[in-house]
Structure 1
C-alpha cells in the first residue's frame, strides 16, 4: 500500500496508468481499522494498487471528491473516479461493489 498525501496524489493516482483504489481513512476511525486487513488481502490477491489517504492530514482531497464519511473507498481509472464504496464491508461484498469479481 502506498501512503497518499496532497503532494503526491496527482502523481500516484491521477497520472497512474493502472487502476488505483484510494482508501480515505483516519486513525480514530474504528471501521477504517476493520477494513484495512481486507484491503491488504485484496491488494495481495489481485495486484491492485491501493493507496491510503489520511483525511485528517489531507482534507483538501477529501473535500475535492465529496467524501462525507469514512471509510470511503474510491476506485480511480485513468485519473477518474469510477466506483465508490462507503463504510466497512466484508471482503466478498467489497469486491463485488468495486466490480472486482
Structure 2
C-alpha cells in the first residue's frame, strides 16, 4: 500500500487500518466523527505532522467499524493512536493539540 507522507490517509475499514499499521514502522491515527469541530481543527495539525515526521498519518471515523470504539476505548474525539512496529504505543484524547505537541507525542511514544 503506497501511502503519501505529506498528508493524512483516510481509512474506512478495520482491514485498511490493520494493513497500514502492518506495513509501516510508525503510524499515527486520528479517530474523528462528522461534525466534530475539534476534529476539523486538527486537520491542518495532522497535515503538518505528516510532512514533518517519519510517521504515516491517517484519519478514521470509528463509527465506520463500531468494534473499534470498544477495542480502543474511544470516549471522546479527536483521539490519537500511535502504533509503533504494529503495536499500540500510546494514545492522546485531550482535544486540539499543536503540531509541536503531536510531533512530541510521535517522537516520545514507543
Normalised by the length of structure 2, the TM-score is 0.79
Q: May I ask how many residue pairs the two structures share in their alignment? A: 99
Aligned to 2:69: 62
Aligned equivalent of 1:92, options 77, 100, 105: 100
Name the CA distance, whole Å, in 2 between partners of 1:91 and 1:7. Answer: 28
Aligned to 1:40: 47
Root mean square deviation of aligned Cα: 1.6
- Residues 32 and 70, structure 1, Cα contact 8 Å, conserved in 2: yes
**Per the alignment, in what secondary structure is the counterpart of residue 31 of structure 2?**
strand
The structure richer in strand per residue is 1
Stretches of structure 2 that go unaligned for 5 or more consecutive residues are 1-7
Name the CA distance, whole Å, in 2 between partners of 1:54 and 1:84. Answer: 16
- Residues 49 and 102, structure 2, Cα contact 8 Å, conserved in 1: no
Name the CA distance, whole Å, in 2 between partners of 1:83 and 1:47. Answer: 16
Aligned equivalent of 2:33, options 10, 21, 26: 26
**Per the alignment, in what secondary structure is the counterpart of residue 38 of structure 1?**
helix
The structure richer in helix per residue is 2
Q: Please say which of residues 46-55 and 26-35 is displaced more in the overlay.
A: 46-55
Deviation for aligned residue 1:99: 4.4
Runs of 4+ in structure 1 over 6 Å off = none
Stretches of structure 1 that go unaligned for 5 or more consecutive residues are none
